[in-house]
Amino acid sequence: MKRWILLLALGPGLLGAGPGAPDPVAEVDAQHERALRLSRALFDYSELGYRERRSAALLRDELAAAGFALETGVAGLPTAFVASVGRGRPVIALLAEFDALPGLSQAALPVRSPRADVDAAHACGHNLFGAGSTVAAIAAARWLAASGAPGTLRLYGTPAEEGGSGKVYLARAGRFDDVDAVLHWHPSDRNDASPVSNLANKSAKFRFHGVASHAAVAPERGRSALDGVEAMDHMVNLLREHVPEATRIHYVITRGGEAPNVVPAEAEVFYYVRHPEPAVLEQIWQRVEAAAEGAALGTGTRVDHEVIHGNHSLLPNDTLARVMDESLHRVGGPVWDDEAREFAERLRESLPPDSPPLTAAFGLEPFAPRLWKASTDVGDVSWVAPTVGLKVATWVPGTAAHSWQAAAASGSPVGEAGMLVAARALALTAAALFQDPAALAEARAEFERRRGPDFHYRPLLGDRDPPLDYRR
């Protein structure tokens, strides 16, 4: 198949680097084959959270071969790692994700085509995230070595973003405490480096325990755990009218019994609750817990719950966002070849008719504060170290995250074009920050001001151990 290479000329004296320093963008472009190889391998693996053994090993091997020192099994997470080069300050970190989503199996084709070999897919584009950040880190490391600038560059391999809160355990263990700036990106259907906040998020599995009995012969002897689940769900649905408007509550019944003629002795429901303010989220969460207790009381069952994950909302940093935005403008939006355009045109047939035009994938969004209505464990990182993010169009405009269309594009030339744009912008931003202590100092001051003088980081998931089996 025909592939593409976008060569980007940014002129001499990029970022004020020394005369012998390489161009970070050229260093990314020199690795375009590596980027494609890594992203396609991660796409094929499609491993779920905390089970990303091949995915993590693949990225670790690439970084070790590029001269990074590696620490594995970080914070008690078997697939988490930290790769480092350089020495001293400043410390600039990049994040890499690599977990897939369950139940969204999809081939890299523009029509619905589930794969026979795996019941999961990169419907949030984390194959691109992991590969793009790895290539950016290697490019920035080469720039750092050749420039003579002081500092340490790290890439954090962060598992289980999708509901497992991998980064929260890293933050809780203090692994970001000495970092001056954290850079990350995410696949999207647009290109935007604006400062962003989002929704804090907490989840738990509520498990009801009843008494089994024959549903026809002796129903009076049974106490239905499923009744407990359904009563809880009804009360929480009534609660929706009486919570702040920005709240999001969603759930799935993950166990409801085995047979209709057996009163279920065990049942389980899995809840997510979201709100922009972590403190408000905690108040709403207490009411959800109360609904569970009331449901158990009313149905003659008992209930316990296991908190699975908890994420703070993103803490914006305008100072770092402006540096990232400048880098994105230097790079520009994705450029598609004929193969990518043909893929996009075909996939667009499955999207709503009022979806944005394909050209929306090429432009840059204006710089402005935004609220993103999703959640991410990057939020916790942003409360312990100054953090900045970037969105790049790796999906056909109008594509929803966590859809088969997002998964398909994440394995296609459309996704790969956006991934290399992200890698270029990350490498440029890292190089800029290594040379600008004033910007780092301003970012730190803004970070402390936004957190407030009495802030103390407290994970929403408490002191629980990582839920390494949450996808089983």
Q: What is the pLDDT of residue 11?
A: 35
**In the chain, what are the domains?**
14-198+313-451 (3.40.630.10), 200-311 (3.30.70.360)
Inter-CA distances, 48 with 120, 184, 217, 438, Å: 7, 20, 43, 41
Say what the pLDDT of residue 21 is.
74
At 176 the three-state DSSP class reads coil
Written as tens digits, the pLDDT of the chain (472 aa) is: 333 333 333 333 334 445 567 899 999 999 999 999 999 999 999 999 999 999 999 999 999 999 999 999 999 999 999 999 999 999 999 999 999 999 999 999 999 999 999 999 999 999 999 999 999 999 999 999 999 999 999 999 999 999 999 999 999 999 999 999 999 999 999 999 999 999 999 999 999 999 999 999 999 999 999 999 999 999 999 999 999 999 999 999 999 999 999 999 999 999 999 999 999 999 999 999 999 999 999 999 999 999 999 999 999 999 999 999 999 999 999 999 999 999 999 999 999 999 999 999 999 999 999 998 889 999 999 999 999 999 999 999 999 999 999 999 999 999 999 999 999 999 999 999 999 999 999 999 999 999 999 999 999 999 999 999 998 8
**Rounded Cα gap, residues 390 and 429, in angstroms:** 11
Q: What pLDDT does residue 467 have? A: 93
Name the token pair of 271: 């809840």
Amino acid at position 347, single letter:
L
d(CA 114, CA 121): 9
Q: Are 181 and 436 in contact (CB under 8 A)?
A: no
Instruction: Name the burial class of residue 370, with classes exposed (0-12), middle (13-18) and buried (19+) by CB atoms within 10 angstroms of its CB.
Output: middle
Please choose, from the candidates 224, 225, 280, 226, the residue with its C-alpha nearest in 3D space to the C-alpha of residue 249: 280
Instruction: Read off the pTM.
Output: 0.91
For residue 149, give the 3-state DSSP assignment. coil
400 and 355 Cβ atoms separated by less than 8 Å: no
User: What pLDDT does 19 receive?
Assistant: 54
Containing 29, the helix (H) or strand (E) segment is: helix 24-29
